């Protein structure tokens, strides 16, 4: 048993003074299960169940990782969760696709993932919206920052950009490149655009058009300017990878949506 696993069980072996049917100094959840901390490199994650801790350590610390791989011919996609591979097959290979349609009036939006449809309804139709507020001190003394967003990730990004809170730099590791950014999707786009790393080509689906783009936004812009098409394209059905890598929880198209909507929110705030 490695030291990482030993640390997990060390608390259980340590003698504790009992108080009634409880043990002194032991944190429990609402079901009475003992909660233990991860503790790897100062990690504060806590869990009451071994499965939760195992998944956390595999995901965040790459300990005892079990890889799930796409079995389609020529595809070397892999992920730490079986659900990610299933979603990848739906998105990239159109396998077992179940379309989720927006039922709002005059809306033709559809998504392969129920979570994306839910996000669309929140952003486009204000349905089941949960607002997240900044709450940090404002620029004027005695005031509170009134920035709010429909997505928690926007608040985190806002605090990094505006209030310098929890800023984490992401560096390009390509030889000779000194680029860095606080927003990881921007670094990912940089690698695709400048260094041709993990590129996924988006192809125009208009008959006879050979245009392709590395970013969904560029393809959308092309369709609007050249073909006068304003309806959403179908990037997932036209993806081709160059050098597949391990899967991430969010797709590139989701990153594009997150990035563009985040920029809109920040621009409105900074006006």
Average pLDDT of the segment spanning 237-261: 41
User: What pLDDT is recorded for position 271?
Assistant: 45
User: What pLDDT is recorded for position 55?
Assistant: 85
The Cα–Cα gap between 95 and 236 comes to: 12
| pLDDT above 90: residue 13 | no
User: What pLDDT is recorded for position 227?
Assistant: 92
Of the two residues 178 and 16, the one the predictor is more confident about is 178
The 3-state DSSP class for residue 124 equals: helix
CB 242 within 8 A of CB 201: yes
β-strand partners of 47: 36
| pLDDT above 70: residue 9 | no
Work out the burial of residue 8: count CB atoms within 10 Å of its CB; fewer than 13 is exposed, 13-18 middle, 19 or more buried. buried
Q: How confident is the model at residue 44 (pLDDT cuts 50, 70, 90)?
A: confident
β-strand partners of 18: 23
User: What pLDDT is recorded for position 1?
Assistant: 47
User: What pLDDT is recorded for position 6?
Assistant: 57
The Cα–Cα gap between 171 and 184 comes to: 9
213 DSSP 8-state letter:
E
Quick: pLDDT tens for 95-126: 988 899 999 999 999 998 888 899 899 889 99
237 DSSP 8-state letter:
G
Q: Check: pTM over 0.75? Answer yes or no.
A: no
Tally of residues, the chain: 271
| pLDDT above 70: residue 265 | no
């Amino acid at each position: 048993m490695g030291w990482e696993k030993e640390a997990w069980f060390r608390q259980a072996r340590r003698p504790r003074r009992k108080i009634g049917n409880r043990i002194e100094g032991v944190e429990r959840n609402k079901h009475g299960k003992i909660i233990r901390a991860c503790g790897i490199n100062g990690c504060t994650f806590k869990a009451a169940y071994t499965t939760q801790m195992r998944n956390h350590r595999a995901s965040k610390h790459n300990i005892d990782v079990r890889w799930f791989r796409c079995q389609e011919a020529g595809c070397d996609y892999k992920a730490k969760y079986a659900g990610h591979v299933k979603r990848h097959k739906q998105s990239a290979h159109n396998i077992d696709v179940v379309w989720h349609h927006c039922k709002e009036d005059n809306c033709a939006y559809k998504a392969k993932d129920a979570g994306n449809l839910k996000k669309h309804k929140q952003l486009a139709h204000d349905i089941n919206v949960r607002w997240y507020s900044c709450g940090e001190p404002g620029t004027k003394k005695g005031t509170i920052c009134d920035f709010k967003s429909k997505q928690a990730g926007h608040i985190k990004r806002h605090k990094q950009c505006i209030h310098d809170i929890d800023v984490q730099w992401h560096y390009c590791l390509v030889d000779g490149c000194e680029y860095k950014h606080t927003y990881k999707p921007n670094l990912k786009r940089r690698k695709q655009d400048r260094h041709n790393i993990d590129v996924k080509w988006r192809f125009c689906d208009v008959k006879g058009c050979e245009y392709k783009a590395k970013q969904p936004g560029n393809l959308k812009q092309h369709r609007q300017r050249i073909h006068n098409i304003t309806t959403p394209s179908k990037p997932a059905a036209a993806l081709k990878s160059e050098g597949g890598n391990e899967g991430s929880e969010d797709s590139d198209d989701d990153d594009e949506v997150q990035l563009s909507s985040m920029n809109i929110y920040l621009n409105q705030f900074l006006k």
